[in-house]
Each structure stands twice: as C-alpha cells, then as structure tokens.
C-alpha cells in the first residue's frame, strides 16, 4: 500500500527566508508525486507534480520540488517565502499511469512572520 509521511506538522519562517518542506513516500515503484496547497477556508490547489524525467520540477508561485529515489523523498522548496505563502501544504502519491487514487500526507502548516 502506498503511504506518505510529512514529518513536520508546523513550520514558521521569516518572510524572505528559504523554505523546505519534507515529504517521504512508501511505494513499490516510482509513483506519481504531487504537492498541493490549501489556503484557509479553501480547497486544495496543485502546486506541482512529478511523473518521470527530470527529478527537479518547477511549479506555480515559485515553488520547486526534487524527487530523490534513493531517499524516497519529494521535498518542496522555495528560495524566498512571501507572507502570502502561509497555508497548509500536502504531499500526495498516486499509482503511476493512473493516479486515480491519491494518498495524501497529513500536511504541514506554514506560518510566515514579517
């Protein structure tokens, strides 16, 4: 069975600082990987996804993520955080070829201080 672990429940960073949110997955092969963001009172929005190829993927809002097979990780990064990035971030894994059923991590809440 596929699973996702986001070890950090809550992270606080200063505006302008760099950010890295951790995600580790468990799957028998290379899965499809996703990062979603949820602003308060809103649904989830896709930031980026990885299917194959280049292990560094670029997403919206200046985010990027790197797939590391050896570490079963798909960490999300941003070089300079803006106050508007404060939200909850979810990593998700899906079976390759279909991704019909996604398994989400428990989320990391990001707080940005000015």
Partner 1 sequence: DAGVIQSPRHEVTEMGQEVTLRCKPISGHDYLFWYRQTMMRGLELLIYFNNNVPIDDSGMPEDRFSAKMPNASFSTLKIQPSEPRDSAVYFCASSLRGAGSSYEQYFGPGTRLTVT
The residue count for binding partner 1 (CB under 8 A) is 23
What backbone phi and psi angles, to 5 degrees, belong to 19? -135, 140
- Tokens matching residue 77: 């990064």
CA distances from 96 to 54, 63, 71, 80, 86 (A): 16, 23, 18, 32, 30
**Of residues 51, 72, 86, 109, which one binds partner 1 by CB under 8 A?**
51
**Lookup result for tokens 């070089």:** 79
Q: Which of 39, 46, 33 is nearest to 5 (CA)?
A: 33
31 binds partner 1 (CB under 8 A): no
**Of residues 45, 58, 80, 113, which one binds partner 1 by CB under 8 A?**
45
32 binds partner 1 (CB under 8 A): yes
Nearer to partner 1, 47 or 112 (CB): 47
Contact footprint for partner 1 (CB under 8 A): 32, 34, 36, 41-46, 49, 51, 90, 94, 98-107
């Amino acid at each position: 069975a596929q699973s996702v672990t986001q070890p950090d429940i809550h992270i606080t960073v200063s505006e302008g600082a760099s950010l890295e949110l951790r995600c580790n997955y468990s799957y028998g092969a290379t899965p499809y990987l996703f990062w979603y963001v949820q602003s308060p009172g809103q649904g989830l929005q896709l930031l980026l996804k990885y299917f194959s190829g280049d292990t560094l993927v670029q997403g919206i809002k200046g985010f990027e993520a790197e797939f590391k097979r050896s570490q079963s990780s798909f960490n999300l990064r941003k070089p300079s955080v803006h106050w508007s990035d404060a939200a909850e971030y979810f990593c998700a894994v899906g079976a390759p070829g279909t991704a019909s059923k996604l398994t989400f991590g428990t989320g990391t809440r990001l707080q940005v201080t000015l």
